[in-house]
Chains A and B, each alone.
Chain A
Amino acid sequence: MVGILPLFVVLLIIVSFAMVVAVPVILATPGEWEKSQGIVWSGAGLWSALVILTGVFNAVPA
């Protein structure tokens, strides 16, 4: 039985990679920041939530 923790870790890795690539591209493309800063904010929120959730589920197994 695979717990929920590896799922959170894999999601965190995927979101981290996406953010590492997307944020510099969005910031350095003229006019792109105004268009897609929502992606950056929601990506940062999702990433932070995954960090907290991973920590919680690592300490208290579901």
Chain B
Amino acid sequence: MFNWNIVAQLLSLALVTLSGPAVIFLLYFKRGNL
């Protein structure tokens, strides 16, 4: 019933999409070279 393939695909998409902004925010909080 629950389509685990779609869940995994959406989770992967979220991981890839959020990794970019995560780097920016981490560099901001660590006062890195933006």
Contact = CB atoms under 8 A, between A and B. Distances in A.
A28 B27 contact: yes
Interface residues of B, number: 12
Interface of B: 12, 15, 19, 22-23, 26-27, 30-34
A41 B26 CA distance: 20
Interface stretch (A16-24, A43-51, A54-62): A16-24
Contacts of B22: 21
Interface of A: 13, 17, 20-21, 24-25, 28-30, 32
B23 A24 contact: yes
A56 B10 CA distance: 28
B3 to A, nearest CB: 18
B30 A21 contact: no
Contacts of B31: 29
